[in-house]
Amino acid sequence: MSAKVQRIEAIGAVCGKLKTRKAAAKRYKITGTGKVLTRRPGKQHINEKKSSKKLSQLGKLKQVDHGDLIKVKRCLPNASIK
């Protein structure tokens, strides 16, 4: 009976590591203050009809919305996101 207890304790002590989803890690950048930045959509193709001002604006990074931030935290468990 004591052997079963020891065995269960040994199995329970081993926990899996929290792993980063690499696809999310490539899409998001975490700043030193803990903000999460991402690229703006709409600059990959069909740019001929867009003005140079619009293309310049699309090139800048934007901060991730609060609703999406919860999902990003789940995908990047080891990041220091605030």
pTM comes to: 0.74
64: left (phi over 0), alpha (psi -120 to 50) or beta: beta
**For residues 57 and 52, what is the distance between their CA atoms, to the nearest angstrom?**
9
Contacts of 43 (CB under 8 A, 6+ apart): 55, 58, 59
Instruction: For residue 53, give its domain range.
Output: 18-75
Question: Of residues 60 and 7, which shows the higher confidence score?
Answer: 60
Number of domains into which the chain is organized: 1
Could you report the per-residue pLDDT of 4-35, keeping only the tens digit for each? Answer: 555 555 555 567 889 999 999 999 999 999 99
4 inside domain = no
Residue at 45 is within a domain: yes
Phi, psi of 47 (to 5 degrees): -100, -5
Residue 30 contacts residue 81 (beta carbons within 8 Å):
yes
CATH number at residue 52: 4.10.410.60
